[in-house]
Amino acid sequence: TGGTDIGKGIQTALDSYDKEEDKKRGKAIVLMTDGEITEGSAILPPVLERAKQMNVPIVTVGMGTPQGRPIPDGTAFWGEATYKRDSSGAIHISHLDEETLRHIADSTQGLYISGDNDQNLATIDSALNKLQKTLMKSKGGVRREELSPRLALGAAFSLLLASVL
């Protein structure tokens, strides 16, 4: 079950932008994936054209290796690693598709970054810093208060009272 529909993911990200703020601030999409499109490849070209028209660059970050690796899926009862399986029950091997990721980035005036080391990942910040910046209005903050000290004091007092009585 499951699969990767990169076009649908990009479309969802584009739909989340406010239509009235198209010109007011810089926007970008950071797409971290292996680049393997397992579903919905037909939707990708029109979605990339829409991103280009909206001036939304896509920074693609390639995760994985071209040789391929199994996708971790947690641990079993005894602690051994488990991996994602396909519909036939075989372990699915994910291969990095740099060509697709470069195409997505180039189509939207974005940037492709290999996610195999920290230095490459640091370039994401510099790529996003090139975008137009605007002052954002604050909608207020949330003040949180820790209640556990009060509850602990109440529990200690209750224990003391119970031992005295």
pLDDT of 76-93, one tens digit each? Answer: 888 898 998 888 889 888
Read off the pLDDT band of 140 (50, 70, 90).
low
pLDDT of 47-73, one tens digit each? Answer: 999 999 888 899 999 888 888 888 888
Structure tokens at 39: 């579903």
Q: Identify the pLDDT of residue 101.
A: 92
Structure tokens at 135: 């002052």
Q: Identify the pLDDT of residue 141.
A: 67
Q: Give the number of other CB atoms < 10 A from CB of residue 122.
A: 10
147: Cβ contacts below 8 Å, ≥ 6 apart: none
| Phi, psi dihedral angles at 20 (to 5 degrees) | -75, -15
